[in-house]
């Protein structure tokens, strides 16, 4: 089984390394199959692909799409996508527009809470001002010494019911899967262990996802603990999903799991790169 890392971020979204540097780090860390999956933007894919090719590192174009399902944010990764497909690009552009409006609202809340200039600061910290994320707010507040670490900002203000958080209704699961499939990609439910759904809701989610043509879930991810590798491996088998794995790397000092560090998938799971759409791209 190749050492695969199919989930990570660059400065095109909320990562700290440029796409080319993420490619080089993946290769240096021994990754044998790599995908760049920035939030709601594919502008890093071309450079990532070019550098990966120069390093003989097999590469898949990817994206991590923000979705609202049952009133909560859900992340759906698209792998092996055509990163020039107009329907996908239009959909992602609409999400980035929502992000800008949300960020302005969060800036206002931080101002009211006694942290003026946070929106402008977060924008300066963002490598790509067209993709503003909660991560940039947290990073700015830590870099300016107003908080000791990013988790503290999330815990105190930015978590989903935090005082500075502005809830947003992202596109539906149907829309996101529609864009991924239009772009010939494979849809993957990212880090299922992170969502606060009830057991009944999870069953509904897996059924809806499968009905819409979703094929895979992340099993081994930097966002899961080892117990969850087991749990979601069993879920994948039970529901007949392919299994994906990735570090969810954002930056050298920020992420639990570096590129290539996530343990390999259990042998009894079918890896997502066996999906015909992906196997064809790798052939």
Judged by the rule CB under 5 A, the positions of this chain that interact with Mn ion are: 14, 64, 75, 190, 248
Binders in 250-269 for ligand AMP, by CB under 6 A: 250
Contact call for residue 141 and ligand AMP (CB under 6 A): no
Concatenating the DSSP letter of every residue in 58-115 gives: -EEEEEEEEEEETTEEEEEEEES--TT-HHHHHHHHHHHHHHHHHHHHHHHHHHHTT-
* Nearer residue to ligand AMP within complex by CB, 85 or 250: 250
Which lies closer to ligand AMP via its Cβ, residue 22 or residue 278?
A: 22
Q: Does 134 bind ligand AMP (CB under 6 A)?
A: yes
Binding part of the chain for ligand AMP, among 23-31, 45-53, 129-137, 181-189 by CB under 6 A, reads 129-137
Helical segments of the chain, H only: 19-28, 45-54, 86-112, 118-125, 134-143, 150-153, 173-182, 199-211, 226-239, 276-282
Q: Which is nearer to ligand AMP, 14 or 82 (CB)?
A: 14
Could you give the CA distance from residue 63 to residue 271 in angstroms, rounded to a whole number? 18
Binder of residue 186, out of Mn ion, ligand AMP, none (CB less than 5 to 8 A by kind): none
Sign of CA dihedral 48, 136, 69, 190: positive
C-alpha span between 158 and 147 (Å, rounded): 13
Among 6, 11, 14, 16, binds ligand AMP (CB under 6 A): 14
Diameter of the chain measured on Cα atoms: 55
221 with 197: CB under 8 angstroms? no
- Which range touches ligand AMP (CB under 6 A), out of 19-27, 84-92, 127-135, 233-241? 127-135
Q: Which of 16, 150, 187, 235 is the binder for ligand AMP (CB under 6 A)?
A: 150
Q: What does 83 bind: Mn ion, ligand AMP, none (CB cut-off 5 to 8 Å by kind)?
A: none
The answer to whether the beta carbons of residues 221 and 190 sit under 8 Å apart is: yes
Binding to ligand AMP by residue 94, rule CB under 6 A? no
Contact residues for ligand AMP, defined by CB under 6 A: 14, 39, 66, 133-135, 150-151, 154, 250
């Amino acid at each position: 089984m190749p050492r695969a890392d199919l989930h990570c971020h660059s400065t095109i979204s909320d990562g700290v390394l440029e796409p080319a540097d993420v490619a080089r780090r993946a290769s240096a860390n021994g990754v044998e199959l790599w995908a760049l999956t920035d939030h709601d933007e594919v502008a890093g894919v071309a450079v990532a692909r070019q550098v990966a090719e120069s390093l003989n590192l097999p590469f898949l174009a990817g994206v991590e799409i923000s979705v609202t399902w049952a009133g909560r944010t859900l992340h759906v990764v698209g792998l092996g996508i055509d990163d020039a497909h107009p329907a996908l690009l239009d959909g992602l552009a609409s999400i980035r527009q929502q992000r800008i409006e949300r960020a302005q609202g969060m800036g206002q809340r931080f101002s009211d809470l006694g942290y003026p200039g946070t929106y402008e600061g977060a924008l300066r910290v963002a490598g790509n001002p067209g993709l503003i994320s909660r991560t940039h707010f947290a990073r700015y507040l830590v870099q300016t010494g107003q908080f000791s670490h990013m988790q503290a900002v999330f815990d105190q203000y930015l978590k989903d019911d935090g005082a500075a958080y502005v809830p947003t209704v992202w596109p539906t699961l149907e829309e996101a899967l529609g864009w991924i499939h239009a772009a010939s990609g494979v849809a993957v439910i990212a880090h299922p262990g992170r969502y606060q759904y009830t057991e009944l809701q999870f069953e509904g989610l897996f059924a809806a996802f499968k009905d819409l043509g979703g094929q895979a879930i992340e099993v081994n991810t930097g966002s899961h603990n080892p117990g969850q590798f087991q749990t979601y491996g069993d879920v994948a088998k039970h529901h007949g999903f392919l299994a994906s794995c990735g570090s969810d790397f954002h930056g050298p000092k920020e992420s639990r799991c570096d590129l290539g560090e996530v343990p390999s998938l259990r042998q009894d799971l079918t890896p997502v790169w066996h999906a015909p759409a992906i196997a064809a791209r790798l052939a």
